[in-house]
Amino acid sequence: MDNYHDRRVRKSKIALKNALMSLLQQKNLQQITVMEIVQTADVNRGTFYKHYQYKEELLEEMVDDIIVDLIDSYRNPYQKGENISVDNLNVSAIKIFDHVENHADFYTIIAKSNALVGLQNQICRQLTDLMKEVVQQYQEPEGIDLNLLASYQAYAIWGLIIEWINQNFKYSAAYMSNQLLTILQLTRYS
């Protein structure tokens, strides 16, 4: 469908994303019209509807971009062939918190908006997949459904991120992963 190799498409999409990002600093999604977006982006309205069905879909694609970076951030430490341990989990956590900090404006919009698309779900789903890799390394879960445990851990971390955002990033990313580690150290996964 979309020809990402075409410079015109990339230009249009970037313009639309920048426009929406800038508008989201001022008002929430419901108050933003497609007309405003295309006017701000200086793009024809038909061009918007060529690529997206609704403004929510545009936002979803913005999340996709962020998620690519999230996965990169997460996978980085493991690419050195280290074993997965609580320490490594902490390294991953640092990477994740760094990533959130780097996109603080974006995550703030996501977290504070009241009408956003399934982007938090997307992020949490991704986190859940990542957590599955970690959780499967634990020996002897003893009657615990690993899918449940992975989802538990993923959303728990997301909960930390949300609270971090709500406190306006008053802690550093290092402190946050420290907190996570401290909480996890209370837990004796074998």
Residues that bind DNA (CB under 7 A): 2-3, 5-9, 11-12, 30, 33-35, 42-47, 49-51, 53-54
Measured at the CA of 104, the angle between CA 13 and CA 163, to 5 degrees, comes to 130
CB 190 within 8 A of CB 138: yes
What is the rounded CA–CA span in Å between residue 82 and residue 94?
A: 16
In the complex with DNA, which residue's Cβ is closer, 42 or 140?
A: 42
Question: In the complex, what is the shortest distance from the CB of residue 145 to a copy of itself, in angstroms, rounded to a whole number?
Answer: 6
> From a copy of itself, DNA, none, which one binds at residue 23 (CB under 5 to 8 Å depending on kind)?
none
Residues 6+ apart with CB under 8 A from 87: none
Cβ nearer to a copy of itself, comparing 47 with 179:
179
- 48 with 16: CB under 8 angstroms? yes
Residue type, 2: D
Tell me which of DNA, a copy of itself, none is bound by residue 5, counting a contact when its beta carbon lies within the kind-specific cut-off of 5 to 8 angstroms: DNA
Residues 129, 187: Cα–Cα separation, whole Å:
21
Which one of DNA, a copy of itself, none interacts with residue 186, CB within 5 to 8 A by kind?
A: a copy of itself
The nearer residue to DNA, 45 or 112, going by C-beta atoms, is 45
The widest CA-to-CA distance across the chain, in whole angstroms, is: 58
Instruction: List the single partner that 75 binds among DNA, a copy of itself, none, CB under 5 to 8 Å by kind.
Output: none
Nearest CA to 134 out of 177, 185, 75, 182 is that of 75
Among DNA, a copy of itself, none, residue 174 binds (CB under 5-8 Å by kind): none
In this complex, which beta carbon is closest to DNA, that of residue 49 or of residue 175? 49
| Contact set with a copy of itself (CB under 8 A) | 30, 53-54, 56, 60, 111, 113-121, 124, 128, 142-145, 147-160, 162-164, 167, 171, 176, 179-180, 182-183, 186-189
Q: Are 111 and 165 in contact (CB under 8 A)?
A: yes
Of 20 and 89, CB closest to DNA: 20
DSSP type of residue 190: -
